[in-house]
């Protein structure tokens, strides 16, 4: 492999620094007003009694569908978070020079589906032990991540990670590599990515879980 090609390949697995990341732009990505499946607004303001979480599980097309099919989820959107570049494009995120992850914003009614149940869906529907990849999708934008909006969410996410790590270890899996960070800024992805698998039902999904069930003991401390 040539030196230039090696550099491009290694960049897919290394996070850029804030100084080396692409600068981005001031203009936000325009998105449709309503969710293609749920018919609810794609952007805030959301209902005052709703809660939200942002998660990265690999390719965001398949991850988004998991959540919009869940009872109690009000709306979902795909986008980018966890990096440095302001209002990035898909191509920029794929370059590995933004630091962003492909993520899903999940807005839900906690009276119908709990945060712990959302975490269960997250853990059980991808492999959180794979580092900067998910299945055949390689790069920092496919890393496993939970991006929380409160200290309570962070605490419960970390407890669930500990419990799922124990279950995975018993099944012979390696250590979880999921990052748990404050949400920061969520940047919407391009309109054609939103609810992609509704528009293209047989399109690429790329997700696969470990087959290990996530324990539910953390429900007691919600």
Active site residue ranges: 59
User: In angstroms, rounded to a whole number, what is the distance separating the alpha carbons of residues 43 and 16?
Assistant: 29
Do residues 75 and 35 touch, judged by C-beta distance below 8 A?
yes
User: In angstroms, rounded to a whole number, what is the distance separating the alpha carbons of residues 81 and 106?
Assistant: 13
Which 3-state string (H, E, C) describes the chain?
CCHHHHHHHHHCCCCCCCCCCCCECCCCCCCCCECCCCCCECCCCCCCCCEEEEEEECCHHHHHHHHHCCCCEEEEEEEEECCCCECCCHHHHHCCCCCCEEEEEEEECCCCCCHHHHHHHHHHCCCCCCCCEECCEECHHHCEEEEECCHHHHHHHHHHHHHHHHHHHHCCCCCCCCEEEECCCCEECCHHHCCHHHHCCCCCCCCCCCCCCCCCHHHHHC
Residues constituting the chain:
222
């Amino acid at each position: 492999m040539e030196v230039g090609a090696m550099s491009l390949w290694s960049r897919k697995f290394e996070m850029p620094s804030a100084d080396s990341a692409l600068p981005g732009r001031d203009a936000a990505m325009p998105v449709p007003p309503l969710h293609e499946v749920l018919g609810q607004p794609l952007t805030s303001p959301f209902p005052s009694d709703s809660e939200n979480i942002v998660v990265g599980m690999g390719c965001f097309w398949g991850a988004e569908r998991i959540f919009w099919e869940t009872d109690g989820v009000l709306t979902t959107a795909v986008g980018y978070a966890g990096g440095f570049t302001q209002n990035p494009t898909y191509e920029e995120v794929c370059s590995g020079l933004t630091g962003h992850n492909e993520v899903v914003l999940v807005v839900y009614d906690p009276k119908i589906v709990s945060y712990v149940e959302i975490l269960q869906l997250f853990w059980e529907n991808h492999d959180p032990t794979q580092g900067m990849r998910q299945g055949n999708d390689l790069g920092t934008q496919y890393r496993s991540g939970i991006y929380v909006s409160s200290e309570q969410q962070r605490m419960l996410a970390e407890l669930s990670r500990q419990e799922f790590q124990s279950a995975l270890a018993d099944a012979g899996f390696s250590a979880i590599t999921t990052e748990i960070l404050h949400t920061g800024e969520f940047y919407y992805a391009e309109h054609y990515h939103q609810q992609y698998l509704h528009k293209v039902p047989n399109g690429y999904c790329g997700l696969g879980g470990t087959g290990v069930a996530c324990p539910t003991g953390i429900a007691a401390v919600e």
